[in-house]
């Protein structure tokens, strides 16, 4: 045991391990990206399938979720986005999800959330985690992969799934299918971008509870 530890403590060998890890993570992103691009922006899926919300870098919670629902391919899964940021293990989380996507491309599905955008995860933790643990180039590799994620899924032609909400300008699901990929949505500046922006980030407004203080306009407004 002592000799094994001492051999791993050799700087050159550790650097080699880190380089191999980086190469493997980059390969995960590239392979997953290719699979995303072969599948439509609006996935058409069939039940039974388990639908899962935000993970946000909570790797241990993701493992518990699989322990409860069944590890793939025991069950089919659709995740609705927000895999990174906030939690401390975004890298482990997204790498496991991408690995399952590659291994079971027709049974395991990932949609894009607003935190799978560079403008968001640059601020909320994923960028800093990549920079601290590896380098910024790795973050850019993930960004390229995220830009290819589908944004919506239709289950049994009845249940429409997405991370956020529907754009009022979305008159037909065909419009989702036509959204080009890869795409990096910073803001809904263009009409074609507003569909994906709303699907990824807009949440239904929650009415304030009775008696709750109301937001006040800024002075001079």
Active site residues: 115
* CA distances in angstroms from 219 to 212, 216, listed in the order given: 21, 9
Q: Which two tokens stand for residue 45?
A: 């899926």
* Cα–chain center distance at 206: 24
In this structure, which long-range contacts are made by residues 192-195, counting pairs with CB atoms below 8 Å and at least 24 apart in sequence? Answer: 194/167, 194/169, 195/167, 195/169, 195/170
Strand order in the sheet with 42-45: 42-45, 152-155, 159-162
Pairing mode, strands 159-162 and 152-155: antiparallel
């Amino acid at each position: 045991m002592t000799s094994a530890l001492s051999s791993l403590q050799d700087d050159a060998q550790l650097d080699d391990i880190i380089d191999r890890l980086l190469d493997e993570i980059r390969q995960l992103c590239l392979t997953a990206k290719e699979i995303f691009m072969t599948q439509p922006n609006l996935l058409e899926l069939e039940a039974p399938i388990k639908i899962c919300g935000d993970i946000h870098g909570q790797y241990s919670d993701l493992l518990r979720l699989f322990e409860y629902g069944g590890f793939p391919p025991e069950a089919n899964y659709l995740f609705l986005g927000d895999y990174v940021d906030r939690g401390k293990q975004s890298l482990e989380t997204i790498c496991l999800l991408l690995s399952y996507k590659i291994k079971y491309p027709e049974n395991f599905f990932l949609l894009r959330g607003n935190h799978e955008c560079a403008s968001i995860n640059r601020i909320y933790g994923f960028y800093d985690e990549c920079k601290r643990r590896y380098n910024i180039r790795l973050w850019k590799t993930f960004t390229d992969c995220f830009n290819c994620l589908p944004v919506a899924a239709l289950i049994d032609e009845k249940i429409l799934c997405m991370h956020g909400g529907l754009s009022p300008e979305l008159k037909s699901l065909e419009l989702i299918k036509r959204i080009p990929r890869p795409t990096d949505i910073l803001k809904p500046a263009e009409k074609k971008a507003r569909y994906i922006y709303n699907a990824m980030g807009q949440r239904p407004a929650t009415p304030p509870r009775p008696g709750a203080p109301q937001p006040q306009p800024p002075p001079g407004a």
